[in-house]
Structure 1
Amino acid sequence: MASLATENGNQSDDYSWYIEEPLGPEDGQTDGVNPSCQPSAPPALHHVCLASLSLLALLLLALLVRRRRLWPRCGHRRPGLPSPVDFLAGDQSWTVPTAIFVVLFSNLCLLLPDEDPLPFLSTLTKAPSSDGETETSRGPWKLLALLYYPALYYPVAACATAGHRTAYLLGTVLSWAHFGVQVWQRAECPQDPQIYKYYSLLASLPLFLGLGFLSLWYPVQLVQSIRYQTGGGSQGLQTSYSENYLRTLLCPKKPDCSSHSTSKHSLLSRAWACSQHSIYTPQPGFRLPLKLVISATLTGAATYQVALLLMVSVVPTMQKVRAGITTDVSYLLAGFGIVLSEDRQEVVKLVKHHLWAVEACYISALVLSCSLTFLLLLRSLGTHRANLQALHRGASLDLGPPLESTLPSRQAIVCWMSFSAYQTAFSCLGLLVQQVIFFLGTTALAFLVFVPLLHGRNLLLLRCLESTWPFWLMLALVVLLKNVAANWVFLDTHHGCPELTNRRMLSIATFLLFPINMLVGAVVAIWRVLLSSLYNTVHLGQMDLSLLPQRAASLDPGYHTYRNFLRIEASQSHPAVIAFCALLLHAPSPQPQPLLAPQDSLGLAAAEEGMQLLQTKDLMAKGAGPKGSQSRARWGLAYTLLHNPNLQAFRKAALTGAKANGTQP
C-alpha cells in the first residue's frame, strides 16, 4: 500500500499540469487592458445627443426641400425628406457618398463584438437572468441597431445633396459632432478587453478617415457658397460628364506618331497596353457609375476589416501559446504517441519552431488573400467599364442567357438596390474562404516538404513517394509516350496540312492503354476538383463573372444581380441620352423646313444644333467644312438613337439584337 501511495504521488507530481487551477483576479484579464475604464461621459449620453442632433438636422433639411419641386399640384409648401445619395446622377461627386458608406460599414463592423449595440437602451438589453439569456436578449437589439446607424448618418449624407448654405452648415455641425465623439471615446479608452486590446482602435481607422474627410469637406463647401454667392439649390440637369463623353466618342483621335520612334518606346507602349487589359486605369471621357465606385471602396474597407479581425483573433493567441510552452508539453505529446526527442528542452524548441511555422503560414495566407482580393478588384473595374461601354453602344454582351427586355423591371430594380451590399458581403465571405484554403495549403506544404527537409525527420511525403514511385513513373511514361506517338506516328503533314495516319496502330494503342488511361483519368479528376475549387475560391468575391457554366449562369445569384444592375445603369443613366436631352432643352426652337416632315425637321434641326455645341473650337481650322460637321452630327445622332436601350423596345424585333459592330443577326 505504501508503494502504491508513493507511485500515485509521483504520478500526481508528473501530471499536476493537467489540473486546472482557479484563475486569479489578474489571470482572467487581458494583458495591458484595463477593463474598468470608465469614460467621463457614458456612451448612452453620446448616442442620445447625436440622435437628437441628427433628428433636428433632418427636420431642418425637410423644410429646405419642397415637394412642389416634384409634384407642383400636390402638397404645396409641404416638407419632404431629402435624398441622401443620388446614385443615378452622372456628375455627382463620389467622395461624400463613399465616405458616408465607409463610416456606416465601419460602425457595423464595430457592432459585432459590442456588448451594448444600443447604449441608450442598455437597461433593456441586460436581462436579470443567466448569461445565456442575456446574450439571447441582445440579439434583437443588434438587429435593431442595423437600422439605427443608417438613420443616424442619414442627415450627414443628405446635407451634401441639398446644395444649400444651411445644409452645408448643418453638415459641418453634424460631421464635427460625430468626429469629436469618436475621437473622445477612443482617447479616453483606447484599449478594449474583447478580441484584442487594440482591435477597437484599429478597426476605427476607416471611421476616423471618413468622418475626418466630411468634417473638412463641409466647411470648404460652406465657405465657397458664401464667397461665390452660390448654394441656392441643386441644378436641374447636369451634363458636363455627358458632353465630355460625347466629345470623346465623336471627335477623331489624334494619331500617335511618337509610338514608332524607337523600339524601346514601342516596348513600353506594349507593356502599358497589356497592363490596361489586366489592371484598371482611368480612361478619358468615361466615368464609372457611383454605385461601382462605392462598391469598390467598400470592398477595400471590408478587406481591411476582415483581415484585421483574422489577424488579431489568431496571431496574438499563438504568440502567447508559444511563449508559455514548457517541458510539460512532452508528456502531452507522449499521451498521443508522439515522441519528438528524448531531451525535453529539444522538444520545447521543436514545438516552438513548429508553432512559429504555423504562424508564418497563417500570416502568409492572409497576405496572399488580401493581395489577390485587391488585384481582382482592379481587374473587375476594367471589366465593369468594358461592359458598360458595350451596353452604351447597344452591343449584346456574353453575359449568359440574353435578357428578355432592356426595360427596367421589378427584379432589375431589386438587384440594383442590392448590388453594393451584395458585393461587400461577397468580398468578406470570399476573403474568409480564401484564408482557410490558403492556410491549409501552405501548412500542408510547410509540414510535408520544408520542415521535414530542414530537420531531417518525419519525411512522410518522401516515404510515400518512395513507396509509390513505380506508379507515378508509369503514368508519366504513358503520358509522354502518347504525346510522342501523337506527334510523330499518328500525325503526318503534307503541304502544310496535318492529317491523321496509321489508324490501325492508333486503335491498337487506344485499346491497350485503356486501363492505364483510367488511372490517369482518376488523377486528372482529382486535379480537376482541386483546380475548380481553387478557381471558385479565388473568384468568390467577384460578381462580374459566374461560378457556374454559361448555360446555368442565371442560377448564380451574384451574377444575376450584376446583370440586372448593368441593365438599370445602361437604361437610366446613359450619358449620350442625357446629353441629347439636355441639348434639346437648351437649344433654340428650330425653323420648319418645307421639304421634310414636321417631326423629321424637328429632330434633324435639334440634332444639328446640339451636335454643333459639342464640336471643338478648332474644328474649322483643321479643314472640316460645315457639311462634314453636319454629316458627323447626323450620323452620331442616328447611331445614338439606334442603340438607345430605352428605344429598342419600341422598334422592330429585328433591331433588338444589334451587335457591337452594327451587323444584324
Structure 2
Amino acid sequence: MSSQTAGNRTSFGATDDYSYGSWYIDEPPAGQELQPEEVVPSCHPSVPLSLLHACLAVLSVLVLLLLAMLWQRRQRWPRCGPGRPGLPSPADFSAGARPRAVPAAVFMVLFSSLCLLLPDEDPLPFLSLVLPPSRAPWKLAALLYYPALYYPLAACATVGHGVTHLLGSALAWTHFGVQVWQRAECPQAPQIYKYYSLLASLPLLLGLGFLSLWYPVQLVRSFSHGTGAGAKWLQSNYSEEYLRTLLGRKKLGNSSPSSKQGFLSCAWICFRHSIYTPQQGFRLPLKLVLSATLTGTAIYQVALLLLVGVVPTVRKVRAGVSTDVSYLLAGFGIVLSDDKQEVVELVRHHLWALEVCYVSALVLSCSLTFLVLTRSLVTHRANLQALHRGAALDLGLLPQSLHPSRHAIFCWMSFSAYQTAFTCLGLLVQQIIFFLGTVTVAFLVLMPVLHGRNLLLLRFLQFSWPFWLTLILAVILQNVAAHWVFLDTHHGRPGLTNRGALYLATFLLFPINVLVGTLVAVGRVLLSALYNAVHLGQMDLSLLPPRAATLDPGYHMYCNFLKIEASQSHPAVTAFCALLLQRPRPPAAPQDGPRLEEEEGMLLLQMKDPAAKAAGPRAHRGRARWGLAYTLLHNPGLQAFRKPALLGAQANGSQS
C-alpha cells in the first residue's frame, strides 16, 4: 500500500512537473536559444558612496561652524560688544543687486538632488555605515538632509569675506569632484533606465560646476579690490538705477504711422510683448528668478522621467513582437491579416506610431509649458511696476491692503516651491491630454487613410452623416436667417423684424438646438480642461472665474506674494534708505540745515542727460522733488507710519 501510494505520488509529482514545464516555462524551440535581456549590473565604486556622503556631511558641518564664528565676529566687531550668535542667511531674498546666480545654482542643485531620490534605494547613504539599509523611513528625513547639506554652499556667498569665499571654493570643488567621480565610475544604474541617473544629474553638475568657478573668481577679487564700501554701494546700485530711470526724462522715439510698419516689425513687437525681455532700470525679485530657474529644471527632470520611463519599454516590446501576437489578437476578435508575418509588421508599425505620438506630445507639452511660464514673467513685471508706482491691481475679492500678514508671509515663503510643484503636475497632465489627442488623430484619421484599412471613423461618419448634416444645416440656417431675415437696419440702427417668423423658428428648432447644445457643452468641457491644463503652472492667472478667484490656491498665493514684495522690497524705499545712510554731515549752520537735508538726496541722483542739465538746476530740483514726493506718497511700506491726516492725501496736495 505504501509503495503504491508512493508510486501515485511520484507519478502525480511527475505530471505536475511536466504540466508546469509545458505551460509556465518559456522554453526555446528546437535549435534556438533565448537571447538574455540586457541587465545592468549593480556598480560598486572604489570608494563607497556612504563614506563619501559621510565626509561631505562632516565637511558641511565644519564649514557651518566656521561661518557661525565668522558671522558672530562680524556682528560683534563694529561696537566691540557681545555679538548675537547666529548663522548667515543662505540668500538675501529682498536684495536687488546681490549676486543672484549663486542662490539660483544652489536651488537647482538642491532640486536635482531631490529628483535623484526617486529611484534611489538608499536616500541617506551615510547611515548604511551604522544601520542596515532601510528605504521607507528615511525618505522624509532626506528632504531635510539635502537642504542642510547645501546650506553652507549658499551661505558662503552672503557674508562677503575672503575667508568665506575660500570656504565656498573648497566646498564647491569637493561636491563637484565627488559627483564627477561618482558619475565617471558608475555611469549606468539599474533603476528606471541605465542612463537615467547620469542624465538627471546634468543640472546638478552644471550648478556645482558654476559654483566651483564663481567662488575662486570672487576670492581673487576680494584679495585684489577688497570688500569695503564697494560692496555696500553694490547693494543700493539697483534701487538708485531704478529711480534714475523712473525720474529721468523720457526720450521721444521716432513716431511713424502704423500703416508704414512692415509685417516683420509688427511681428517683432508682438513677440516682445509676449516674451519676457530685460528692461532698463527694472530687475525681477530674487524669488521670481529662483522660480524661473526651478521651473526650467523641473521641465527638464519631468520630461526626462517621462521619456526614459516609457520609450525604452515600448522599444523592447516592439523588438519582441513575434508571430504569436496574431493568436493574441484573434482571441479578442481582431484579425489584421491572414499572413502572420504581415501581422507582425503591422503591430510593429502601430507601436512605432504610438512611440511617435508619445514623443510628439512630450515635445508639445514642454514647449507650451516653457512659453506660458516665460509669458508669466511679463505679467510679474507689469504687476510689480504697477504696485511700485502706487496703482491698485484687480486681485479679485482679495483685500487691497498691502500690509504684511501671517498668511501673506507664508505665501511668500512657499511661492517658489509651489511654482515648481505646479509646473511638474501641469507638465504631467498636459502630457496625458496631448498623448490621448495625438493617438486619437493618428489611429482614427491618419493611419486608416494612409493604409486604407480599419476605417472606423469613416464608417461611423457613413452611418451617422444625416445626424451631423442636420445639425450643421440647422446652425447655418439660423445664422443666415438672423442676419438676413430677423435683423433690419433703419437709419444706421439695427432692430428686430419678422417677429412672428422668429418665434416660430425658435419653437420648431428647439429639439435640434438641444442636440447642438449638448455637443457645445462637451466642447466646452474639453476646451476648459485643455485651457486649465496648459495654464496649470501659471500662478498669476486664476483658473476659476473672477467671483471665485479666492478659491484658487495658486492665484491666492501669488497675490499675497505680490503684497510682500511690494511692501518689503520697494526700490524707492531702498534708495531712500541708502541715501540717508550715505548722506554727508553738513557744516554747523543751523539756518541752512533743513534746506541742505532736503537737497542732499537729490544731489546724489544727478542725471547724466545734457538736455536735463540745460533746463536749469532749479527746474531739475523741482522735478526730482516732485517725483520723490509722489513715489514716497504712494509707497505702501510707509503708509502705516504716516500721520492720520496724511492717509487721505491725493495728487496736487488736495485731500479727500
Indicate conservation of the 8 Å contact 2:612/2:620, yes or no.
Answer: no
Whether 2:378 is the aligned partner of 1:382: answer yes
Post-superposition shift, 1:498? Answer: 2.3
| Corresponding residue number in structure 2 for 1:314 | 310
Partner SS for 2:116 = helix
| Corresponding residue number in structure 1 for 2:577 | 581
| Corresponding residue number in structure 1 for 2:24 | 19
Indicate conservation of the 8 Å contact 1:203/1:305, yes or no.
Answer: yes
Post-superposition shift, 1:264? Answer: 6.8
Post-superposition shift, 1:112? Answer: 1.0
| Corresponding residue number in structure 1 for 2:127 | 121
| Corresponding residue number in structure 1 for 2:212 | 215
Post-superposition shift, 1:473? Answer: 1.0
| Corresponding residue number in structure 2 for 1:516 | 512
Q: Which moves more between the two structures, 275-284 or 198-207?
A: 275-284
Deviations 1:318-349 (A, max 9, x none): 11110111101111111111111111001001
| Corresponding residue number in structure 1 for 2:56 | 50
Whether 2:223 is the aligned partner of 1:226: answer yes
Counterparts of 2:144 and 2:431, CA distance in 1:
30
Indicate conservation of the 8 Å contact 2:97/2:235, yes or no.
Answer: yes
Counterparts of 1:662 and 1:347, CA distance in 2:
86
Deviations 1:410-468 (A, max 9, x none): 00000000001101111111111111111111111111111111221111111111111
Post-superposition shift, 1:573? Answer: 0.4
Q: Which moves more between the two structures, 79-88 or 398-407?
A: 398-407
Counterparts of 2:456 and 2:72, CA distance in 1:
76
Whether 2:200 is the aligned partner of 1:194: answer no
Post-superposition shift, 1:489? Answer: 1.8
| Corresponding residue number in structure 2 for 1:138 | 135
| Corresponding residue number in structure 2 for 1:399 | 395
Counterparts of 2:313 and 2:654, CA distance in 1:
63
Aligned positions of 1:129-168 closer than 5 A: 137-168=134-165
Deviations 1:137-162 (A, max 9, x none): 52220110111111111111111111
One-letter amino acid of the structure 2 residue matched with residue 509 of structure 1: A
Indicate conservation of the 8 Å contact 1:491/1:499, yes or no.
Answer: yes
One-letter amino acid of the structure 1 residue matched with residue 140 of structure 2: L
Partner SS for 1:499 = strand
Aligned positions of 1:78-93 closer than 5 A: 79-93=85-99
Gaps spanning 5+ residues in structure 2: where?
1-17
Partner SS for 2:235 = coil
Counterparts of 1:550 and 1:398, CA distance in 2:
10
Q: Which moves more between the two structures, 333-342 or 399-408?
A: 399-408
Aligned positions of 1:153-552 closer than 5 A: 153-230=150-227, 235=232, 238-257=235-254, 260=256, 267-552=263-548
One-letter amino acid of the structure 2 residue matched with residue 617 of structure 1: K
Counterparts of 1:526 and 1:76, CA distance in 2:
71
Post-superposition shift, 1:590? Answer: 7.2
Deviations 1:271-291 (A, max 9, x none): 332112211111111000001
Whether 2:621 is the aligned partner of 1:630: answer yes
Give the root-mean-square deviation of aligned CA atoms. 3.2
Deviations 1:304-326 (A, max 9, x none): 01110111111011111101111
One-letter amino acid of the structure 1 residue matched with residue 615 of structure 2: A
Indicate conservation of the 8 Å contact 1:195/1:312, yes or no.
Answer: yes
Indicate conservation of the 8 Å contact 2:392/2:400, yes or no.
Answer: no
Post-superposition shift, 1:482? Answer: 1.5
One-letter amino acid of the structure 2 residue matched with residue 505 of structure 1: A
Distance 1:197 1:385, change over 3 A: same
Distance 1:448 1:64, change over 3 A: same
The alignment's TM-score, normalised by the length of structure 1, stands at 0.88
Indicate conservation of the 8 Å contact 2:98/2:234, yes or no.
Answer: no
Partner SS for 1:140 = coil
Indicate conservation of the 8 Å contact 1:164/1:231, yes or no.
Answer: no
Whether 2:142 is the aligned partner of 1:111: answer no
Post-superposition shift, 1:508? Answer: 2.1
Counterparts of 1:465 and 1:74, CA distance in 2:
88
Q: Which moves more between the two structures, 225-234 or 569-578?
A: 225-234
Counterparts of 2:480 and 2:655, CA distance in 1:
46
Post-superposition shift, 1:623? Answer: 2.9
| Corresponding residue number in structure 2 for 1:31 | 38
Whether 2:561 is the aligned partner of 1:568: answer no
Counterparts of 1:307 and 1:124, CA distance in 2:
37
Number of equivalences? 633
Indicate conservation of the 8 Å contact 1:125/1:138, yes or no.
Answer: no
Counterparts of 1:657 and 1:317, CA distance in 2:
68
Counterparts of 1:87 and 1:74, CA distance in 2:
29
Gaps spanning 5+ residues in structure 1: where?
1-12, 128-136
Indicate conservation of the 8 Å contact 2:75/2:84, yes or no.
Answer: no
Counterparts of 2:37 and 2:212, CA distance in 1:
35
